[in-house]
Structure 1
Amino acid sequence: MTTAAHATAAHATTGHAAAAPTCDRETSVTRSLLGYGVIAGPVYIGVSLAQALTRDGFDLTRHAWSLLANGDLGWIQIANFVLAGAMTVAFAAGLRRAHGGGWAPRLLAVYGLSLLAAGAFRADPAGGFPRGVPAGEVSWHGIAHLASGGIGFSCLVAACFVLARRFARRGQTAWAWSSRATGALFAAGFLAVASGAGAAWATLAFVGAVVLGWAWIGALALHTYRNA
């Protein structure tokens, strides 16, 4: 083979190697972490609804999902809180890697930690659930559960508005408005259940807010994954 032929072959080989996709470990890890944000919501909502529809005495219009942590099968909802919290923290880590830091990943990480705390500190029985268990005095773990929820929900709302501002700066109008709407509606649902004194409309409004919040997290995770 002539020198010119060798050069041509070498150029072709180099060009082929440059065109071939490379395995970027950093991107792979980031996408793996973001993937947890896609599945966290469906897992949490699915497990919660399955229990809500099958647990004796549970009423979706009267009882918050947190109450499912009580009773003989309470360990299922406790595990659900812990799993959803761990996946949310992992997603927040992936978001931090993809966005290069900022407040949004930190706020979402705190939301994930609040879910872990919600699993560690069980909500007190209320509203006749579990069946036959009367509501008593508020316990220390019940107070801790409420506090962790308040902190976590506040951080989720704040993350919505922080990211809305970032999307607006980038000219991503649809994402900016949807993030603002999610934050506002979630805050309204949380305030409704906090002040509704167990009214059916307030409980259902909060359930809708929780589903909306998880849908936003899943959509954000998928959007970031595709652009990572």
Structure 2
Amino acid sequence: MIPMLWAGAAGCLLFVVVFLVDGLTRPGYDPLRHPVSALALGPRGWIQTVDFLVCGLLVAVSSVAVPWAVSSGSWAVWPLSAAIGLFGVGLLLSGVFRMDPMWGYPPGAPEGTPEETGRAHRIHDNLGAVVFFSLPAAALIAAFALQDPVWRWGSGVTGVVVGAGTLVFANAWEKEAPNAGLIQRVTLIIGLGWLGLLLGAGALGAL
């Protein structure tokens, strides 16, 4: 079980590192404006696609080991495992179904949001909802599943912050705000940072 937990922690870290580095070095891409998913488009799109697939798989696999890593014996460990698994599967499938070109990326794409989008884009949107709501849900469930007060309060605060960040990002996306990409990145970094630390602590027997 321990290797599975370490794999999930590594997946969280890898996902963040890849979208930060690739976003900062991708020609024509604005990390403050464009969402992470747009990195799956264009000539270098395969990098983010692999990032989705590999990291999603690692997190999904790690979720199986979560109930055995938490020492509290609370019934909430099972919903926690399910929420983390759902997040991982949503991330993985986001690599299978890509968003449509828009917001000027890749270069030459429409500047705004097209009135009609493709089937893959609509599925990707739905998967995005799964990803961005299962992550704060996992943190909030952890506030009940864990025994240590620091982890309980930290998880609760993380759940509230990531949930609020998700709502702010959704509003920014609808308004095509120039800082939508930044809001999404901050939300993901906080959520994935918490999840990576949780899985790493589980691997160390600290939960």
Provide the TM-score with structure 1 as the length reference.
0.81
Runs of 4+ in 1 over 4 A off after TM superposition: none
- Which of 24, 33, 45 is equivalent to 1:53? 24
Corresponding position of 1:18: none
Secondary structure of 2:95 counterpart:
helix
User: Matches of 1:203 and 1:48 in 2, distance apart?
Assistant: 11
- Which of 125, 138, 141 is equivalent to 1:159? 138
User: Matches of 1:204 and 1:118 in 2, distance apart?
Assistant: 19
Work out which of the two has the higher radius of gyration on C-alpha atoms and give 1 or 2: 1
User: Matches of 1:33 and 1:56 in 2, distance apart?
Assistant: 36
- Which of 104, 107, 117 is equivalent to 1:138? 117
Write the mapping of 1:83-98 to structure 2, written as runs, cut at 5 A: 83-98=54-69
AA of the residue aligned to 1:46: V
Gapped regions of structure 1 (runs ≥ 5): 1-29
Is residue 2:129 matched to residue 1:150?
A: yes
The CA deviation at 1:226 is 1.3
Corresponding position of 1:22: none
Corresponding position of 1:106: 82
Corresponding position of 2:49: 78
Contact 1:110–1:152, Cα closer than 8 Å, also in 2: yes
User: Matches of 2:12 and 2:107 in 1, distance apart?
Assistant: 28
- Which of 184, 190, 202 is equivalent to 1:206? 184
Is residue 2:162 matched to residue 1:186?
A: yes
Gapped regions of structure 2 (runs ≥ 5): none
AA of the residue aligned to 1:75: W
When the two chains are superposed, the root-mean-square deviation of aligned CA atoms in Å is 1.6
Is residue 2:43 matched to residue 1:65?
A: no
Is residue 2:194 matched to residue 1:216?
A: yes
Write the mapping of 1:8-23 to structure 2, written as runs, cut at 5 A: none
The CA deviation at 1:203 is 3.0
AA of the residue aligned to 2:186: G
1:161-216 per-residue CA deviation (whole Å, 9 max, x = no partner) reads: 1110122xx3x211111101111111111111111123234432221110011110
Report the identity percentage.
31
Contact 1:189–1:202, Cα closer than 8 Å, also in 2: no
User: Matches of 1:85 and 1:129 in 2, distance apart?
Assistant: 24
Q: How many residue pairs align between the two structures? A: 196
User: Matches of 2:13 and 2:200 in 1, distance apart?
Assistant: 13
User: Matches of 1:201 and 1:185 in 2, distance apart?
Assistant: 18
The CA deviation at 1:227 is 1.1
If asked which structure has higher relative contact order (CA below 8 Å, sep 6+), I would say 2
Flag the structure with higher helix content. 1
User: Matches of 1:126 and 1:187 in 2, distance apart?
Assistant: 26
Provide the TM-score with structure 2 as the length reference.
0.89
The CA deviation at 1:222 is 1.5
AA of the residue aligned to 1:221: L
User: Matches of 1:164 and 1:81 in 2, distance apart?
Assistant: 27
Corresponding position of 1:123: 99
User: Matches of 2:50 and 2:125 in 1, distance apart?
Assistant: 18
